[in-house]
Chains A and B, each alone.
Chain A
């Protein structure tokens, strides 16, 4: 019964979205990679939500509440501050993408620094960093299925099946299916979380939502304020603030954010979305409440990420677990598809066309993108199944490398003098700053309460600036890619002094 419900949700959503996206249309490369730059407010909102609300946003938030209490509240601020910065940044990216017909983040680096190799190098980094992120989605999916179905299904086979579903979902139609699938995924997940938060007191006989907080106060008095339930972790106010700033700086540097920024119909779609997207974060009220309820009802779990699922499996009815499993699979499949599509487009556009066959036309790049999608899916599923520790640690290095793109993304829109050598040396120094302290345990010297990533980003920033000042700046044409209004939307770029100009409608 519960298996049937979840299968109907997953197959109905993925096949339905792919069918709707393909109706009466011949898909070209622009459609596939950036939705033909045609998404209006609703689709764009859901596509962005698809990237924010991943498996670990929803299992992780309740897990933080379960394990640490108050420190987890910083998650509320991530999205809000991301879109405060995004109000300035995303319309700029959208304009640049539209004007230069960009498909990927690497395309942006190529144009901005007037060099074909920088984009290809960063495309390799992007792909390698995306793989562990995709793999995380599959691991989360395995977790959801294990806890909702028990040993009735083989997790490994379900991960293979999910990899296959992603292909069905995105192979033909690309980004539009992801956006359509996101609508089902997010509506369903918010409904599931709300139902869980409201009903959890009833099912665990713990009274109402409010009595859960009262019981927490009695049994875990330190949970409500920093440093939370585990003071030894040093999750102080200072940590809280630096974590928010680090995530804010790194918020828009993942390759997929460029791609979905390019998918909007107009600059105002992107701006209006920055107004309404943060409100989605209010759903974290439910996840935190569920995390606290889990601490009261199912204490002592070995992994805090299991908190929400263990609570559901123990106290909620079978039909609900079916919905939760279906919704949870979509939470893994939809963001996973967006990430895979990004990796495939980076490969086809910036490695295949960028390095191997510069004269390939769009039709050929689309074909290569689709084959690359199969490759990315196979590799991610393989990594998720193998659990190879060395492999995973290599991938995690690439993962932290991506957050080191923050100074170059921001500076390339603000500072004329930044150069490709500055970008490259900043990234290398930032990467060493992230990995070396954890290897030699220097972080105890710096003080545990400041995120080491913040120090690494600061070092990266300084090196980027200094090396840029000593190297040859890009051509005037390349500089103008980042630092001039692209389509005359004057108010999108605070650094540009230009007369007010009307937006072009085309």
Chain B
């Protein structure tokens, strides 16, 4: 059960990026093109989130497709 869900740990990435990295990022003085680094970092966090959630979603979908193909037993019989 827990092994099947290990990929959900990917959902920790957005929290690490957007919340817990902030004190470190705030110390950086480098400003590419004059744009504040924290602003770029937070904007990048949006894309990183989308990719992380997308990765979990695609793994979940693949698992479900496999589960559907493989399950001929009566476990789902009680659902209707």
Contact = CB atoms under 8 A, between A and B. Distances in A.
Given A87-B56, A214-B34, A241 B49 contact: no
A282 to B, nearest CB: 6
A224 B79 contact: no
Interface string A475-506: 00000000000011011001001011111100
A29 interface: no
Contact of A279 (B50, B52, B61, B79): B50
B38 A73 contact: yes
A87 B34 contact: no
Contacts of B15: 81, 84
Contacts of B47: 279, 282
B39 A70 contact: yes
B3 interface: no
A11 interface: no
A490 B63 CA distance: 11
Interface residue SS majority, chain A: helix
Q: A80, A268, A284, A285: which has the most chain B beta carbons within 10 Å?
A: A80
A271 B60 contact: yes
A226 interface: yes
Contacts of A214: 34
A495 to B, nearest CB: 10
Contact of A272 (B11, B57, B68): B57
Given A73-B42, A213-B34, A502 B76 contact: yes
Given A240-B22, A501-B76, A213 B36 contact: yes
Contacts of A325: none
A237 interface: yes
Interface string B50-66: 10111011001101100
Contacts of A244: 18-19
A77 interface: yes
Interface in B15-45: 15, 18-20, 22-23, 26, 31, 33-39, 42-43, 45
Given A84-B15, A224-B39, A226-B26, A497 B45 contact: no
Contact of A76 (B34, B45, B68): B45
Contacts of A240: 22
Contacts of B52: 84
A497 B38 contact: no
A168 B34 CA distance: 47
Nearest to B80: A504
Interface in A202-260: 210-211, 213-214, 217, 223-226, 237-238, 240-241, 244-245
Nearest to B54: A275
Given A76-B43, A80-B46, A487-B79, A87 B11 contact: yes
A342 B45 CA distance: 32
Interface residues of A, number: 52
Contact of A288 (B20, B26, B39, B67): B39
A41 interface: no
Nearest to B48: A80
A81 B18 contact: yes
Nearest to A76: B42
B46 to A, nearest CB: 5
Nearest to A501: B76
Contact of A87 (B33, B53, B67): B53
A224 B57 contact: no
Nearest to B55: A275
Contacts of B49: 80-81, 83-84, 278
Given A83-B49, A213-B36, A272-B57, A491 B63 contact: yes
A276 interface: yes
A84 B11 contact: yes
A223 to B, nearest CB: 7
A225 B27 CA distance: 8
Given A237-B26, A285-B43, 14 more contacts: A76-B42, A77-B45, A84-B53, A224-B38, A226-B22, A274-B53, A275-B54, A275-B57, A284-B43, A491-B60, A499-B71, A500-B71, A501-B76, A504-B80
24 contacts: A73-B36, A76-B18, A76-B39, A76-B46, A80-B18, A80-B49, A81-B18, A83-B53, A84-B11, A84-B14, A84-B15, A84-B52, A87-B11, A213-B36, A225-B38, A226-B22, A238-B23, A241-B22, A245-B19, A278-B49, A281-B46, A499-B75, A500-B64, A502-B76
Q: Would you list the 10 A-B pairs with minimal beta carbon distance, nearest first?
A: A224-B36, A500-B67, A76-B42, A80-B49, A213-B34, A77-B18, A237-B23, A275-B54, A84-B14, A499-B75
